[in-house]
Amino acid sequence: MDLQTSALGRARQMLETQGRFPGGALPGDITESWLRSLSHGLDPLARSQRLILSEVEFNATRQTHADLIRFARPELELLYDQIAGSNFMIALGSPDGVVLDTLHDTQFAETEAGAQVIPGSVWSENLRGTNAMGVCIATGRPAQVYGGEHFLRAHGDVSCISAPIFDGAGRLAGVLDASSMSAVRQQHTAALVQMAASSIENSLIRSGHDRRIVLQFHPRPEYLGTLSMGVLVLDEDLTLHAINRRGEMFLTGFPRLLGESFDRIFEQPFAAIQQRLVEGETLRVRDRIGSAVSLRCVANRASFALARRLIPVVTEPGTAPARNLFRDVVIDDPALWQRLQALPDAAKRGAAIAITGETGTGKALIARLAHAASERSGPLVTLDGRMLAEGDFARVCLGSGTEPGLLQQAAGGTLFLDEVTDLPVVAQAALAGVLDIGEYRHPETGAVVRTDLRVVCATSAPAALSDLLPALRYRLEGFRLDLPPLRLRSDLAALAQRFARSVRPDARMTEAALARLAAHDWPGNLHELRAIVLQAMLMRPEGALEAQDFDALLPGAPARPVSSGATCCAQCAGVPWKADQCQNIRTVVARHEGNVSRAARVLGMSRTTIYKHLKDQAS
């Protein structure tokens, strides 16, 4: 038994027999949490109660935190994929400790802990004692609680790791938690949880302020676009409305930030740099303390509208607005770029937009960009067809009691129908009627509610669009945009590098590593690529990523060549890593029907390099 375990055992024995414990025996956060738990009158030997909200209370809580749930869900799925198979569960909590959403493997679900941590359960410190979610809420800091460090002995067989999510105004927006049955300290998992929480926080800030100017900044320009960047939001009067935690760290010399004018924080007046910012430039500016930062503007509805005012004349119609809209997105695939050129104009003209593509191809991102291009004053509101049960349309979409429905929330903005082909038939018919006349009757009061909204829909099953009720389908397909799967895009190398540099700005990948990625089919598309690259980056904190860094993460490591000519060129035969690289290059060329230029873009290699590996295939 090591010293830490021994000290914990003695502390627990005193806690359970005497109601006190020796100071300094435990980590600081655990000590403070045990003291708070005692002050709440909790008994460390009490059985854990099933503290669960009623269905009405839980539905109201989920409605309150709908944006948090929506932006957190992709991160929950990504985090789950990264730690799947290790007896874990992922949970999203509200600022009050209510579990809003979960993902867990079968093993964990069958445990007592799995039966306790379910949507609607409450894990605040005053009710459950020391637990990672409760400690995180109490302190506003990341928390790790292992086994016997829980105040209640009943929770002693679980380890949990939590990270806070803030809203940009200093308020806690939620908590992300990963729990397991392992007592081993999980620093790798802790890093993943904190990265996911930062990503959710940045998404909440950016999406929640689509009508305000959003700026990214960092002392080093290569860190822009990574999770370590600062994000600040400006009100119409150019005062600071919101800022993420990283941004607060970079501007620690100011006594207050929220409500402070941009021109009082930075030396350059905003009016002097606004045109260059909305044109997509990254500028070097100094704050009033004298520290230099690189600054750039996020492409959203506010910046798009500002760009139109500041740049009224465009030499080539549609070019500048499109570039402004897509500047934060990696789109180096010429075919995809060509398809996207018409999107801003279609959105601004109010055309219904239908986006199709496999899961993970970026449909939700394109929907957000279409909303930004529309320049409408209302919000983007999402209705997920997979989550709408039969009979729920009236309550969810039209409203219940004093709560406005999604259609009313989207008035003046955009309604995003995600996985529209999964909508129940009754909901399809009702929605078609609303879109036809622009109004509906409130299901409880009978009052006529008028709603002015634009519609963007998406589906991962494009063939199923024809199965929608004709009355709805004809109102949804004004402008059709098909997103290609990752395996058919020519910018995989650029996307992989972007994901890697979101963790470490100087990250590099060898040609062999890029070839290994390019040879994979990517059924999960961008979601899968991001998950794989982030895991590889965490396992290799420095140096260039090699092909072997992905072998344990991708199914089916490439087979070794069985002869010098069958699977690789003569110059690579006999050297395993060279043979693997050559194999992958040939696979990608074959997948693109011999188009070397396209394969070169996918692989991030020169055509000359690829031709070297194809010499003995020439005839």
| Helices vs strands, H then E, count in the chain | 27, 19
- Find out whether 167 and 94 touch, Cβ atoms under 8 Å: no
| End position of a domain, from candidates 482, 517, 545 | 482
Same domain as 388, residue 466: yes
Distance, in Å, from the CA atom of 505 to the CA atom of 562, rounded to the nearest integer, reads 39
Last-in-domain residue among 482, 504, 524:
482
Judged against a pLDDT cut of 50, whether residue 318 lies above it is answered with no
Structure tokens at 553: 């993460």
pLDDT average, residue stretch 347-351: 89
Q: Do residue 472 and residue 543 come from a single domain?
A: no
Which two tokens mark 174? 């939620």
> Is 199 among the domain residues?
no
In this prediction, residues 377-404 reach a mean pLDDT of: 85
347 lies in some domain: yes
Mean pLDDT of all residues in 343-349: 89
Q: Are 162 and 132 in contact (CB under 8 A)?
A: yes
Specify if 238 maps to a domain: yes
Tokens at 528, concatenated: 């899968």
For residues 566 and 595, which has the higher predicted lDDT (pLDDT)?
595
Amino acid at 174: G
Q: Which pLDDT tens digit goes with each residue over 95-114?
A: 999 999 998 887 787 788 87
Buried b / exposed e across 257-278, counting CB within 10 Å, b at 16+? beebebeebbeeebeebbeebb
8's CB contacts (< 8 A; 6+ apart) are 25, 26, 148, 149
User: At 271, which amino acid appears?
Assistant: A
Give residue 317's pLDDT. Answer: 44
User: Are residue 49 and residue 176 in the same domain, yes or no?
Assistant: yes
| Residue 77 in tokens | 């799925």
Owner of token pair 């209302």: 378
The bridge status of strand 454-459 relative to strand 403-404 is unpaired
The Cα 352–Cα 346 span in angstroms is 8
What are the CA-CA distances from residue 20 to residues 14, 26, 28, 127 (Å)? 6, 13, 15, 19
Looking at the structure, do residues 405 and 441 belong to the same domain, yes or no?
yes
The Cβ-side half-sphere exposure at 548, using a 13 Å CA radius, reads 4
- What torsion, rounded to 10 degrees, do the Cα atoms 131, 137, 138, 139 define? 100
Question: 93: which strand partners?
Answer: 99, 175
Judge whether 542 and 556 are in contact, CB under 8 Å: no
- Count the domains in the chain: 4
Look at residue 320 and tell me if it is in a domain.
no
Q: Are residues 48 and 105 in the same domain?
A: yes
Within a domain: 176: yes
Phi first, then psi: what are they for 400, rounded to 5°?
-145, 125
**Buried b vs exposed e over 14-33: b needs ≥16 C-beta within 10 Å?**
ebeeeeebeeebbbebbbeb
Shared domain check, 118 and 82: yes
Report pTM. Answer: 0.68
Give tens-digit pLDDT for 510-539: 988 998 898 898 988 998 999 899 888 888
**Torsion of Cα atoms, 43 then 45 then 47 then 49, to 10°:** 30
Does residue 170 come out as left (phi exceeding 0), alpha (psi in the -120 to 50 range) or beta?
left
Same domain, 129 and 18: yes
* Residue 474 CB neighbour total at 10 angstroms: 13
Domain of residue 303, residue span: 209-310
CATH code of the domain containing 395: 3.40.50.300
- The CATH number covering residue 58 comes to 3.30.450.40
Last residue of a domain, one of 161, 189, 217: 189
Q: Pairing state of beta strands 230-234 and 479-482?
A: unpaired
Domain membership of residue 584 (yes or no) is yes
Domain shared by 42 and 170, yes or no: yes
| Helix/strand/coil for 434 | helix
Within 453-543, residue ranges assigned H as helices are: 470-476, 492-501, 511-518, 525-539
Is residue 39 domain-shared with residue 159, that is, in the same domain? yes
Residue 478 and residue 353 in contact, taking contact as beta carbons nearer than 8 Å: yes
Q: Is residue 403 part of a domain?
A: yes
Q: Are residues 148 and 46 in the same domain?
A: yes
In this prediction, residues 232-252 reach a mean pLDDT of 92
> Which of 500-514, 550-564, 565-579 is predicted with the least confidence, judged by mean pLDDT?
550-564
Tens-place pLDDT, residues 451-469 = 888 999 999 988 888 889 9
Give yes or no: residues 400 and 287 share one domain.
no
Handedness of CA 122, 125, 129, 133 (dihedral sign): positive
Residue 213 inside a domain? The answer is: yes
Contact 572, 582 (CB under 8 A): yes
Whole-number average pLDDT of the chain = 85
| DSSP output for 70-129 | HHHHHHHHHHHHHHTTSSEEEEEE-TTSBEEEEEE-HHHHTSHHHHHS-TTBB--HHHH-
CA 361 to each of CA 63, 292, 298: distance values in angstroms, whole numbers, following the listed order: 27, 37, 21
Q: Could you tell me if 470 and 497 lie in one domain?
A: no
Q: Which residue has the tokens 């996985």?
A: 419
How far is it, in rounded angstroms, from Cα 416 to Cα 458? 8
Q: pLDDT for 2-23, tens place per residue?
A: 445 588 888 999 999 998 898 7
pLDDT band at 323 (very low <50, low <70, confident <90, very high): low
Q: Name the band, by pLDDT with cuts 50, 70 and 90, for residue 312.
A: low
Contact 374/416 with Cβ under 8 angstroms?
A: no
Better-scored residue on pLDDT, 441 or 3: 441
Measure the CA–CA gap between 192 and 548, rounded to whole angstroms. Answer: 21
Return the ∠ at Cα 103 (arms to 99 and 105), rounded to 5°. Answer: 130
